[in-house]
């Protein structure tokens, strides 16, 4: 798989792309983090850091939604 670097902030040019398999892995990881947040929160644990990581991954997934194919 070819990796094409892109500048943060979308300074013109083509937006970042992701292939379908990587996009699926990204969403599966995000769903797993959501489920872990719920499980840990239900057990009364402090999940502040876990929630922060989940939000970061969610923002990343939003950048690639919908996936546009391999870069």
Q: What is the DSSP letter of 16?
A: P
Quick check: is 26 in a domain?
yes
pLDDT tens, position by position, for the chain (71 residues)? 555 555 566 556 666 678 888 889 999 999 999 999 999 999 999 999 999 999 999 988 888 887 775 54
**pLDDT on residue 25:** 92
How many whole angstroms separate alpha carbon 57 and alpha carbon 48? 14
Any domain includes 5 = no
Asked whether residue 41 is assigned to any structural domain, the reply reads yes
- pTM for the model stands at 0.69
Q: Is 48 inside a domain boundary? A: yes
How many structural domains compose the chain? 1
Residue 14 in 3-state DSSP?
A: coil
Is 29 inside any structural domain?
Answer: yes
pLDDT on residue 12: 61
Contact 48, 58 (CB under 8 A): no
CA distance 40 to 27: 20
Tally of CB atoms within 10 A around 20: 11
């Amino acid at each position: 798989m070819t990796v094409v670097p892109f500048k943060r902030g979308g300074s013109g040019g083509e937006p970042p792309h992701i292939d379908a398999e990587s996009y699926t892995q990204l969403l599966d990881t995000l769903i797993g983090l959501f489920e872990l947040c719920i499980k840990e929160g239900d057990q009364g644990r402090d999940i502040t850091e876990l929630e922060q990581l989940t939000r970061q991954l969610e923002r990343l997934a939003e950048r690639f939604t919908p996936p546009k194919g391999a870069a």
